Amino acid sequence: MPDRPRHYLRQQLRWMRGTTVRHLWWLRHMPLRSLGFWMPVVEYPHLVLALLVPVAVLATP
């Protein structure tokens, strides 16, 4: 575990970059009927919703 915030942030960005590259590879090479294709397809909208829903809840009076 990195002991400084900057090192932690850089580690997370590295991992995120690797995951994105891996997801793009899966989308290109996996058949449409496989779980390996659909997991990244579902994961990105899920990430967006996970960021937007709390904002919407906090913004609602």
Mean of pLDDT values over 8-26: 94
Residue 11 DSSP one-character state: H
The confidence score (pLDDT) of residue 1 equals 82
DSSP per position, 15-57? HHHHHHHHHHHHHHHS-TTSHHHHHHHHHHHHHHHHHHHHHHH
Helix axes 5-29, 35-59, angle to 10 degrees: 130
> Residue 53 has what pLDDT?
95
CA-CA distance, 58 to 39, in Å (whole number)?
A: 29
Rounded to the nearest integer, the mean pLDDT of the chain is 93
The long-range contacts involving 46-52, CB below 8 angstroms and separated by at least 24 positions, are none
Once rounded to an integer, what is the mean pLDDT over residues 14-37? 93
User: For residue 48, is pLDDT > 90?
Assistant: yes
